[in-house]
Amino acid sequence: SIRPGWFYHEKEDSKVKTVEDLCNLYYKSVGHNATMLLNFPVDKDGLIHPIDSANAVNFHRKIRQELSVNLLKGITPKVDSQQGKHIGKNITDGQYDTFWASKKKKDAYIEFQLGKPKSITRLMLQEYIPLGQRVKAFSIYYQQGKNWVRLDPKEETTTIGYKRILRFDKITTSGIRIVIDDAKGCPCINSVSAF
């Protein structure tokens, strides 16, 4: 049975998850290698409130828009080393069953040259999960002239796992470098995207 008074939206604006709330939830769950649970309560008729329903649709549109143009698509990155067929080009080929494998557990790196400066606010990294989660710490750098500047995403850059999405203030750069600072085994990176 349902507790009296539990029904949602007895007051029109109580407990509404805004589009911004839902976006933050997405980046803190899916963007941190976890599952997103919306947990929309239902009213006494078993329906989701129309405001929540509309916000869910608009949240989905916003995330799709924010992650729509992958600036790294088709770029072959420079990598520190590779193993057999697990080459740097696999990082941007869009295939699930290909990946890059470094020979190093520490200080392995992936470097992208964008050709001309581009604005970036999101970075998505994915490990090849069938071989396990390996990365324990990583750093991101962006190119400013001839210098590499460490990016501060205002969160820890520890594990990557199936999917890690970093949000940060807009940078304009012609290059991105990802350094694997520590790993349990040689890193196996399936995909890197920048938006």
Judged against a pLDDT cut of 80, whether residue 50 lies above it is answered with yes
CA distances in angstroms from 18 to 10, 27, 191, listed in the order given: 17, 14, 31
C-beta of residue 163 within 8 angstroms of C-beta of residue 31: yes
| Amino acid 178: pLDDT | 98
Percentage of the chain modeled with pLDDT above 70: 92
pLDDT at 2 over 50: no
**Of 140, 152, 135, whose CA–CA distance to 178 is shortest?**
140
Contacts of 85 (CB under 8 A, 6+ apart): none
Q: What is the value of pTM for the model shown?
A: 0.86
Domains of the chain, start order: 19-66 (no CATH), 78-194 (2.60.120.260)
Quick one: which of 137, 141, 134 has its CA closest to 185?
Answer: 134
Query: Residue 22: which of 6, 36, 43 has the closest Cα?
Result: 36
Measure the CA–CA gap between 101 and 188, rounded to whole angstroms. Answer: 4
